[in-house]
Amino acid sequence: MIVFNKNMLFFNETQLNTKKPINSSLEIIKIIKDSIYFENLRLMSKSNMIPMSGQEVRYLSEGSFTKAGKSFSWALEIKDVVTLVWDAKARNILYMKGNNYTPEQLRYWIFHTFFPIVLELERTYRILHVGSVEVEGKPILFSAFSFGGKSTLTDYFIKKGHTMLSDDSVAIDKRGDTYYAIASYPFHRPYRELETLGYPVENFATEPKPLHAVYLLEKGEPDAKVEIQELKGIEKFKAFHYSTFINFDFMKKERFEFFTEMAKQVPVYQVKVPWDMKRLDEVYEKIVSHTKA
């Protein structure tokens, strides 16, 4: 299965693998059940338990997360469910089962939370908490406050037959002055049920493409006019600020610098979205026409 432009193979939970052949040009990330490796790690640094996706979780590492990089091994413990370990040297994900473990939870926590953080800490990609689809092959992102309508709008585009990059998080790869959108995982969750990825999506983007635009959704009155206007300056940057995936304090400065530069290259538009489901097709048509123009 291709996840964030990597081949992921489950060695112990083989039913989680898709029947599609792997892409030989992409890196393979093996997911292996291994308690011995974990026991030999010196994960002395432990955070407090914090609530996340309906569970209690904590971070474990050999040293401070401020030193995270390509050679940094660490773990995420989801209490009584599973402990996930990033083996930076072998570039594998190892796991130990908890009393309440299920294979579906393993896949959820790796795809939705753990591996995106790995990519951020390694500085491989920057992750944005957004919905994303293609319009005539052009990736666009939907950014909004929590419960601001991005999941609903992404779902509408998917039902209209548009290729999905993500309904939750997208990776950004900077190549020169061009910013590429990297699709996350081929599952869609129209309703935010905890610890589920939703249903599999066949029409899923598998190739990185230059990001075309970001649409910042603004909730309007039910009778408001659907409008799109380009943002400039600090208002433009807010579209990226609202979409932060993780909030490690030591990464704030570099993330700010990354997205400040990205805001200079990628157009950002504000979309006035009437808060009326019956008018969602108007919003859809307006964005499609705008993207095609």
**Which long-range contacts link 57-65 to residues 24+ away (Cβ below 8 Å)?**
65/121, 65/248, 65/250
Outline where 47-169 has alpha helix (H): 103-108, 115-121, 150-159
Q: CA 28 to CA 6: how far, in whole Å?
A: 6
Place of tokens 């290729």: 163
The residues of the chain scoring below 50 in pLDDT are: none
Q: Three-class SS of residue 231?
A: coil
Q: CA 193 to CA 97: how far, in whole Å?
A: 22
* Under 8 Å between Cβ of 114 and 85: no
Given 3.40.50.300, 3.40.1350.10, 3.40.50.970, 3.40.50.150, which CATH number is that of 128-292?
A: 3.40.50.300
Q: CA 69 to CA 73: how far, in whole Å?
A: 9
Phi, psi of 256 (to 5 degrees): -60, -45
Q: For residue 64, what is the DSSP state?
A: -
**What pLDDT, on the 0 to 100 scale, is given for residue 86?**
94
Q: CA 62 to CA 250: how far, in whole Å?
A: 17
In the chain, where are the structural domains located? 2-122, 128-292
**What pLDDT, on the 0 to 100 scale, is given for residue 42?**
73
Structure tokens at 114: 């753990």
**What pLDDT, on the 0 to 100 scale, is given for residue 74?**
93
**What pLDDT, on the 0 to 100 scale, is given for residue 144?**
86
Q: Would residue 91 be called left, alpha or beta, if left means φ above 0 and alpha means ψ between -120 and 50 degrees?
A: left
Q: CA 10 to CA 82: how far, in whole Å?
A: 15
Tell which residue, 215, 220, 231, 216, has the closest CA to residue 273: 220
Q: Count helices and strands (H / E) in the chain.
A: 7, 21
Q: CA 145 to CA 272: how far, in whole Å?
A: 13
* Under 8 Å between Cβ of 14 and 34: no
* Under 8 Å between Cβ of 196 and 249: no
Q: CA 247 to CA 78: how far, in whole Å?
A: 18
